[in-house]
Structure 1
Amino acid sequence: MTRPVGVRPAGERALLVECRSLAEVAALRTLVDEKSLGQVDVVSAARTVLVRFASARAARRAEPLLAALDAPPVAPEPRRTVEIEVVYDGADLGDVAEVAGLSPETVVAAHQASAWVAAFGGFAPGFAYLAGGDPRLAVPRRESPRTSVPAGSVALAGEFSAVYPRASPGGWRLIGRTDRTLWDIERDPPALIAPGDAVRFRAVRAAARGATGAAPAAPGPAPIPGRADPRPGSAIEVVHPGPLSLLEDRGRPGYAALGVTASGAADAASARQANRLVGNGADAAVIETLGGLEVRAVGDQVLALSGAALDAYAGEDPAPSGAPFLLRGGETLRLGSPAGGLRAYLAVRGGIVAPATLGSRSHDRLSGLGPAPLAAGDLLAVGAPPRGAVGAPEPLASLGPVATLRIRFGPRADAFAAAERAHLVATAWSVSGQADRVGARLVPADGARPLRAPRLDLPSEGVEIGSLQVPPSGEPVLFGPDHPTTGGYPVIAVVAAADLPRAGQLRPGTRVRFVPER
């Protein structure tokens, strides 16, 4: 019987449990599931298990129980073998060969000869961490992650290999590509590779496969009936979606082990406020928009706006924010651009009825799950009015020119020198242009230097929304609601849960300061 090496807080609502081996990880995960400690999500990784809870109180109660668990290592049961054809022409093949001290041909041969086994899932739906490779192929991640890795990319990082199921950010080294579909919500199971599967790679010529350099996108999610029935003759028609408008609700927690993050509204407090103002329940779907949205009412509708302040017009008359208002059938609501903050939320009384995927109507930018981004001509059905009355006007949350976010150091703060932890707090950071629902890269303002990242060969491990992950460049990445479920760079701190709505309103150019919680 072997107890965990240690338990590290990851923010106030999650605990990172350290193990000695993949076998111990598997045993601990099984034991946690059996004990039912009140967890919402469990994310297995190379040497850790991230256990996420619904509240800080639940996490505090579970910490001593997790530290005392005895988890005997178990051998995984053998499963099937999945063969994947690869064109070995990846952008990093030459770099991998140089770092490994091998020729590119030897790298390709070693990758094909390795006895890869899917150890665990994570990062994104269908992404499987493959262990058992030739030790010569253990190369570090890139110094700075790519903002977009093509779907079907075959990659190496540390002791693992993997195939990217869809286009996404990533810091792994690309050695090839395949046209196999790794994740298909219409398939049972959706993931082509499941933990315990053996995986064999086979080299093929690009011409023989008709490859074009990127694998085709995976099919969209299969529709699942929504939670509310539409009201006949009642809808919202999208005239113009603006730069980006999405349907969001409270998200889909509980699927992180499949690589599916919870997603949901980036500013959950404002989404709840919009629903409250029109009398909806907290789980009703709303429109999250960056502004520029124009919609037309089909039948009379009661609407409410919250989140970032912006100019709004119902027909020719100004429409309020933070208060319910009537949009008569045939009238158009036009939204300007946010003057402060980034995202506004539009709720309609009765809620928007849309297909659900894994229990949620939220669009996840990283995985592509959920309804597609809104487009001109979309007709959004509206549900039956709730019994509750509309709410009284409420003030909007404000975000000044400098956003102050409270943080809790960890789970990997001890990997950074004390001077670097102090530098994180003392420095004003600016949100770069690389910012979306997945995460925002922060750059030092006022001529300050970036963080000095530790030289830490960290196996991938579960990460939380609000995590401040530090790649070798020293420019922290603040994870948003569509963040990957696992990551391989150390997390120096996690933003307080109460401040996550403010983090969801950060726009490029906003200055950010971090304050440690006492």
Structure 2
Amino acid sequence: MSITGIRWAGPRALLVELADLNSVLAFHQRVQAAPLPGQLDAIAAAATVLVKFASQAQARGARAAVEQFQLEGARKVGGREVTIEVVYDGEDLAEVGRLTGLGADGVVAAHTGQLWTAAFGGFAPGFAYLVGGNNSLTVPRRPTPRTAVPAGSVALGGEFSAVYPRQSPGGWQLIGRTSAVMWDLEREQPALIRPGDTVRYVAVDSLTEPPGTALISTAETDADRPDAVRSGLEILQPGLQSLLQDLGRPGLGDLGVSASGAADQQSARQANRLVGNGPAAAVVENLLGGLTVRAMGDQVAAVTGAAAPLEVRSAEGGLLRRPDPCAPFALLDGESLTVGAPTLGLRTYLAVRGGFDVPLVLGSRSTDTMSGLGPAPLATGTRVPVAPATERTAVGHPEPSALRVGAGTTELRITLGPREDWFPEEAAQVLTQQQWQVSDQSNRIGVRLVPDPGHGRPLERSRTGELASEGAVAGALQVPPSGQPVIFLADHPITGGYPVIAVVIPEDLPTAAQVPPGGRVRFTVVDSATLEPLPQAANDTISERIPS
């Protein structure tokens, strides 16, 4: 067992390459049992472990420590063995039998006749990638993914087997179904299978219960109990999208749970600071304005982020005042606040003194749009309670806006890697010497980019084939076969199978989250230690490797 390489994945994360699955599990277990200074998360994958840190200095210190790791002789402590009963009647069972040459009965025998090991999580909470004892069931994914795979579906994709924890799109081959509940927030350990566990599939004729949907219940608000909220906000109009967000739920990557949280954490922190909250208090994140709320009880509020007009009206609808953004203001009982369409930027953040008081889900009040964890999106009639103000911090003074998005091209700093070697040398020049336009298909999962119409071109790869799924950080510039990069944002998948050519530095992620559809961005490669531009960035490679 050995480490074969270490690559930078942005200035605050290391992608550690390992020789085999046993090495992955041993390394992952080591850093989970004894976290490195500043370690935020460690995400195991097929042949790598991604380790994230709170700062650049801690990441660099950890790199020096990891280079000295000796995994030879390390023994993986056995995880639990989980038994999953399966009815083998999947839509793709016959096709898998044809692809493998085993026939349908042979597929069932091969699937139940070997012990599977959970290598890593990803895709969705409770989704575990299982590796078998042999490669007899290695099959390609479907050429056209299904738009909806039922919860409890047992599937094969590449060398892996898995159970879908909830209904979701998917391109794996379906061979059966189970009633095992893969994710349940009522359990002490929500995930039925964790990395390092082993799984034995058992064929049965019928299931004792219907295929179980994952219990990814959202945090309930008091919208259905009007008398329960005495101090808070009532949503009169949510706009295109309004979500409750805080600083997220980091550290759960090995369960397939993304950190989520405010897309522009700088603006969310500023809004909380202005009303005297701690930085982790929940705020409302609104997309493109159109939000109107009514105060239940006297409140102190602030709106930050995108530059949007604000109006406060009386209970009768008369205009009372136009508060300044990035400044605290009173919103008295019965008054309504409207956040208009932004003139610059994309997302606004509304904080109220005391913070929004909805139940915590895995330690956070954030809505994760990809997994469904957290509070439901705010809807007309929702009444969101506000906690009593207990922070000792005083209400703040007006501040300059933290928004760095202007009317022209937005500059974003990046560090190359970890997979820039999947591209020709000129790819860095193509990436940095042209403008990219933000697609209207962008969301909290990622900012989708297209070459500047009429002037740009997509990125090309120098390698064919697929990259084994591996952990990815927020800010990763993942490049699918189309050559059109996607910047991962707060709700991004934990793992991905497309090569990451570069990473937007954490300091610029709030800016990336504020570029609206149609806006243009340009990338500048910087040194990961100093964040200063590299004069020869287009020809330099700054991801590093160490010998095994």
What is the TM-score with the length of structure 2 in the denominator?
A: 0.83
Distance 1:40 1:78, change over 3 A: closer
**Who is 1:480 aligned against?**
489
1:268 and 2:265 matched: yes
Provide the rounded CA distance (Å) in 2 between the counterparts of 1:144 and 1:65. 44
Q: Give me the whole-angstrom Cα distance separating, in 1, the residues matched to 2:96 and 2:439.
A: 29
402, 405, 412: which is aligned to 1:399? 405
Q: CA 1:43/1:145 → structure 2, altered by over 3 Å: closer, same or farther? A: farther
Contact 1:253–1:262, Cα closer than 8 Å, also in 2: yes
Per the alignment, in what secondary structure is the counterpart of residue 418 of structure 1? coil
Q: Which moved more, 1:62-71 or 1:110-119?
A: 110-119
Which residue of 354, 367, 371 maps to 2:371? 367
Matches within 5 A, 1:251-266: 251-266=248-263
2:458 corresponds, among 450, 459, 467, to 450
Contact 2:216 2:372 in 1 (8 A): no
**What amino acid sits opposite 2:351 in the alignment?**
A
- Displacement of 1:221 after TM fit? 5.1
- One-letter code aligned to 1:449: R
* Compared CA separation, residues 64 and 246, structure 1 to 2 (3 A): same
| Structure 1 position 286, deviation (Å) | 0.6
Instruction: Verify the 8 A CA contact 1:112 1:203 in the aligned structure 2.
Output: no
Matched, 1:500 2:509: yes
Aligned equivalents of 1:9, 1:282: Cα separation in 2: 29
**Change beyond 3 A, Cα 1:170–1:66:** farther
Q: Cα 1:149–1:478, aligned 2, differ >3 Å: closer, same or farther?
A: farther
Q: Secondary structure at the match of 1:295?
A: strand
Does structure 2 conserve the Cα–Cα contact (< 8 Å) formed by 1:305 and 1:345? yes
CA deviation after TM superposition for structure 1 residue 441, in Å = 2.6
- 1:438-492 CA-partner distances (Å, limit 9, x unpaired): 2233222324332223324322211101111122232222211111211222111
Partner of 2:322: 318
1:63 matches 2:63: yes
* Aligned pairs (5 A) from 1:407-422: 407-422=414-429
CA distance in 2, matches of 1:257, 1:14: 15
**Are residue 279 (structure 1) and residue 276 (structure 2) matched?**
yes
Match of 2:477 among 468, 477, 485: 468
Separation in 2, partners of 1:379, 1:120: 39
Conserved? CA contact 1:246–1:363, under 8 Å: yes
SS at match of 2:386: strand
On the 8 A contact 1:26/1:74 being kept in 2, the answer is no
Q: State the Cα deviation string for residues 362-406 of structure 1 (Å, max 9, x = none).
A: 111122222221122222222233333322222321413432211
Matches within 5 A, 1:163-178: 163-167=163-167, 172=172
Does the Cα contact within 8 Å between 1:186 and 1:221 map onto a contact in 2? no
Q: Root-mean-square deviation (CA), in Å?
A: 3.1
SS of 2:11's equivalent in the other structure is coil
Cross-structure match for 1:510: 519
Equivalent in the alignment of 2:303: 305
- 1:185-214, Cα deviation, whole Å (9 max, x unpaired): 1123211223313141648799x9988xxx
* Aligned mates of 1:24, 1:153 — CA distance in 2: 30
Aligned to 2:18: 19
Q: Which residue of 1 aligns with 2:447?
A: 440
Aligned to 2:52: 52
User: Counterpart in 2 of 1:339?
Assistant: 343
SS in 2 for 1:383: coil
- 1 CA distance for matches of 2:400 and 2:90? 55
**Which is further off, 500-509 or 263-272?**
500-509
Distance 1:139 1:330 in 2: 61
Task: Check conservation: 1:431, 1:510, Cα contact below 8 A.
Answer: yes
Question: Pairwise mapping of residues 82-97 of structure 1 onto structure 2 (< 5 A)?
Answer: 82-85=83-86, 88-89=89-90
How far, CA to CA, are the matches of 2:109 and 2:519 in structure 1?
A: 48
Q: What CA distance in whole angstroms lies between the structure 1 residues aligned with 2:97 and 2:343?
A: 50
* Structure 1 position 302, deviation (Å): 1.1
Distance 1:376 1:102 in 2: 55
Relative distance call for 1:412 and 1:171 in structure 2 (3 A) is farther
Deviates more, 1:493-502 or 1:192-201: 192-201
Pair 1:336–1:187, CA change in 2 (3 A): same
Q: Which residue of 2 aligns with 1:389?
A: 394
Residues 294 and 84 of structure 1: CA distance in aligned 2, closer, same or farther (over 3 Å): farther
> Structure 1's 217 and 45: CA in aligned 2 closer, same or farther, altered over 3 A?
closer
Distance in 2, matches of 1:200 and 1:234, equals 51
Per-residue deviation at 1:409?
0.8
Shift of 1:108: 6.4
Distance in 1 (CA, whole Å) between partners of 2:418 and 2:339 is 41
1:9 aligns with 2:11: no
Residues 73-120 of structure 1: CA distance to partner in whole angstroms, max 9, x if unpaired? 425526333224356555x77886787677778666654555433223
Q: Percent identity?
A: 52
Letter in 2 for 1:468: L
Code of the aligned partner of 1:5: T
**How many angstroms apart in 1 are the aligned matches of 2:396 and 2:263?**
22
Q: Taking structure 1 as the reference length, what is the TM-score of the superposition?
A: 0.88
Alpha-carbon shift at residue 319 of structure 1 (Å)? 2.9
Alignment of 1:111-190 (within 5 A): 111=111, 113-132=113-132, 135-140=135-140, 151-167=151-167, 172=172, 180-190=180-190
- Structure 1, 132-141 or 21-30: larger mean CA deviation: 132-141
Q: What is the Cα deviation at residue 179 of structure 1?
A: 5.5
**Cα distance in 1, alignment partners of residues 145 and 450 from structure 2:** 15
- Equivalent residue of 2:50, what SS? strand
What do residues 118-141 of structure 1 show as CA deviations (whole Å, max 9, x unaligned)?
Answer: 223233310101101652433455
* Paired residue secondary structure (1:277): helix
The 1:489–1:336 alpha-carbon spacing in structure 2 relative to 1, beyond 3 Å, is same
Q: Secondary structure of the equivalent of 1:373?
A: coil
In structure 1, what is the Cα distance between the partners aligned to 2:457 and 2:337? 45
Comparing 100-109 with 59-68, which one deviates more in the overlay? 100-109
Moved more, 496-505 or 468-477: 468-477
Alignment of 1:171-210 (within 5 A): 172=172, 180-195=180-195, 196-200=197-201, 202=203
Say if 1:139 and 1:469 are closer, same or farther in 2 by CA, change over 3 A. farther
Aligned length: 506
d(CA) in 1 for partners of 2:200, 2:430: 44
Q: Distance in 2 between matches of 1:253 and 1:167?
A: 24
Assess if the C-alpha contact under 8 Å between 2:281 and 2:355 holds in 1: yes
Following the alignment from structure 1 to structure 2, what is the Cα–Cα distance between the partners of residues 388 and 394? Answer: 16
Per-residue CA deviations over 1:412-442 (Å, capped at 9, x if unaligned) read 1122211223222233222223322122332
Letter in 2 for 1:77: G
Superposed displacement of residue 512, structure 1? 2.3
Q: Which residue of 2 aligns with 1:228?
A: none
Greater shift in the superposed pair: 110-119 or 499-508: 110-119
Q: What are the ranges of 5 or more consecutive residues in structure 1 without an aligned counterpart? A: 225-230
The separation in 2 between residues aligned to 1:473 and 1:125, in whole angstroms, is 28
* Kept after mapping to 1: 8 A contact 2:229/2:384: no
